[in-house]
Structure 1
Amino acid sequence: MRIDRGLGQRVWAYVCSAPGTYLWLSVLFVTTVALHHMSPHFEQEFLRQRSTNIHELSNDPGRVLLQSAMWIDGGKWLPVAFQYTVFHAQAERWLGTLRWLMVCAAAHVLATLISEGALLRAVQDGVVKHSAVNTLDIGVSYALAGVVGVLAYRIVAPWRYLYLAVVFLVYGEPLLDAPTFTDLGHFVSVLIGLACYPLVIGRGPAWDPKETVSALRG
C-alpha cells in the first residue's frame, strides 16, 4: 500500500501543534488497553481506588484528582480521541499548552470538588444512601466541558451565541430532570471554562465560520 508522505507529515505536524492533548490521549490509550486485560471485579475495585469519590477525596485528594484523569470509564477510547481532536487540540493550539492546561485543571479540580460537595450534602441530609461516598467517579469529561466552554471566546459573534446556546442545551438539559452529581459537575465545568476569559486575552483573532466556508468553496 502506497503511503502518502505529505499527508503523514501534515498529520504529524498537527499532532505536534497540540503536544499536551495527544500526550494525554496516548496515556488514556495505554490505560484503556490495560483495563481491557482486567477482570470485571478487579477493574471496578482498581478504578474505585483512583476515583474522586467522597471517601478517596477525604483520604488523598491530590492523588485521586490526578489519577482519575488518566482513565476512561467504559473503555471507549475512539470517541474520546475524536473529542480531544475537535476540542482539546483546538484550544491548546489557540491558548498555548500552559493556558490550555490551566483551563483543564481548573475545570477538573473545581467541578469535582463542587459536585462531590453537593453529593456529600445530599448524603448528610439523607437524600441519597451513604454508600454514595464510594461512587465510582473517574474520567476526563469535566476538563473537556471546561474546554468546550472556553472555546466560545474563539468564535466571533453572532456565531458565538449560537455555539453557547447549543452548549447550554447539551449540558443544561440533564439538570432539568433528576440530575446526578456528574450532570452538575459538567455544567459547572462549562461555567468554569467561561470564567477563564482572562486566559484568552491576546490569543489572536477569533474564528469566523463564515470565512472558513467561503475559503472551502473558493
Structure 2
Amino acid sequence: MRPPAEPPRRGRRPSPANPLTWAKDWVGSSPGTHIWLLVIGITSLVIAAASEGLGQFLVHRTSSNIHELNEHPLPSLLISGFWIERPESFLLYAVMFELLHANVERWTGTARWLLTVGGAHIAATLASQELVLLAIEGHRLPRSMTHVVDIGVSYGLAAAAGVLTYRLRPPWRYGYLAGVLVFFGIPLLTGATFTDFGHAIALAMGFAAWPLTPAAAEEPPPEDGTGPADRAAGPPPEQRPESPQER
C-alpha cells in the first residue's frame, strides 16, 4: 500500500524564471517602448560620432522650434522625439523608459500608451513654442529663440509619469503623486522656461488620460457586497414583500 501523497507546503514560492525568458517577455509586452529606445540609441551614437559642427547641425535640424515648425511642421514634430541633445545621458533615459514607459505600455496596451504619450509630446511642443513666439513678439525674448534647440523625449516621459499615478495602489499612489508634483512643480514656480511649461502640459495630459487606463473600467464593489447579477435578481426571498397567497 502506497503512503499518502504529501500535501503541498504553503509558503513555498516558485523558482524565478530564466532571466533571458523574463527579459524577452518584458520587451515583448512593451514593444513600442523598446523600439523607441532603440532609435534613440542609434541617433545618440550618430551625434556622439559626428564632428562638433555636424552634431550642432543635426540637433538644430531635428528640433521642433518655431523655425522648423514653420518650414517642416509634421516631420519636425515627429523627428524631434527621437533625439536627445547629450548622448551621454542615454543610460539615464533608458532607465526612465523602463520605469515609466514600459510599465505604462504593459498596463494600458501599446495603442493607448502611444496615443497618450504621442499626443502629449505634440501638444506640449506646440504649446511651449507658442509661448516662445508670444514672448518674442512681446520683446521679452530675442528673435534668435526661433532657432532654439527643442528636441528630446522628456514630454513623453512626463505624460507617462502622470498615467503611472493610476497604476499604483494607495498609499503608494499619494507619495508618488507628491513626488511627481514637486519634481515638475519646483522648476515651474522658480524661473520657468518654455520646457518647464511643456513638462507641466504633458504631465496634465497624463493625468487626464485616466479614461484610457484599465483602472477606469474597474467598477468598485457595492457597499452591500452584492454583484450586478444579484442586484438584477432583486432582494433575497426573506426581504421580498409577501404575496397575498403567502399570508
Structure 2 length-normalised TM: 0.78
Percent identity over paired residues: 39
**Residue 204 of structure 1: how far off its partner (Å):** 7.4
Q: Is the 8 A contact 1:94 1:203 kept in 2?
A: no
* Higher-Rg member (1/2): 2
Q: Is the 8 A contact 2:81 2:152 kept in 1?
A: yes
| Aligned pairs (5 A) from 1:61-140 | 61-75=73-87, 76-140=89-153
Q: Secondary structure at the match of 1:92?
A: helix
RMSD: 1.7
Q: Equivalents in 1 of 2:69, 2:186: separation in Å? A: 28
Per-residue Cα deviation, 1:75-95 (whole angstroms, up to 9, x for no partner): 121111100100100000000
What count of residue pairs does the alignment treat as equivalent? 202
**Residue 6 of structure 1: how far off its partner (Å):** 1.8
* Structure 1 gaps, min length 5: 206-218
Q: Which has the bigger relative contact order, CA under 8 A and spacing at least 6?
A: 1
2:196 to 166, 169, 183: 183
**Residue 161 of structure 1: how far off its partner (Å):** 2.2
Give 1:34's aligned residue: 46
Q: Secondary structure at the match of 2:18?
A: helix
> Are residues 1:13 and 2:25 paired?
yes
Q: Is the 8 A contact 2:37 2:97 kept in 1?
A: yes
Q: Secondary structure at the match of 1:111?
A: helix
> Are residues 1:198 and 2:215 paired?
no
Q: Equivalents in 2 of 1:204, 1:11: separation in Å? A: 29
Per-residue Cα deviation, 1:168-213 (whole angstroms, up to 9, x for no partner): 10001001221110011111110011111111145777xxxxxxxx
Q: Is the 8 A contact 1:95 1:203 kept in 2?
A: no
Q: Is the 8 A contact 2:107 2:214 kept in 1?
A: no
Q: Is the 8 A contact 1:50 1:68 kept in 2?
A: yes
For 1:104, give the aligned amino acid: V
For 1:117, give the aligned amino acid: E
* Structure 2 CA distance for partners of 1:204 and 1:159, relative to 1, 3 Å: farther
Per-residue Cα deviation, 1:9-67 (whole angstroms, up to 9, x for no partner): 21111111111111111111111111111111211112211101011111111101111
* Structure 2 gaps, min length 5: 1-16, 219-247
> Are residues 1:47 and 2:78 paired?
no
Structure 1 length-normalised TM: 0.88
Q: Equivalents in 2 of 1:140, 1:93: separation in Å? A: 19
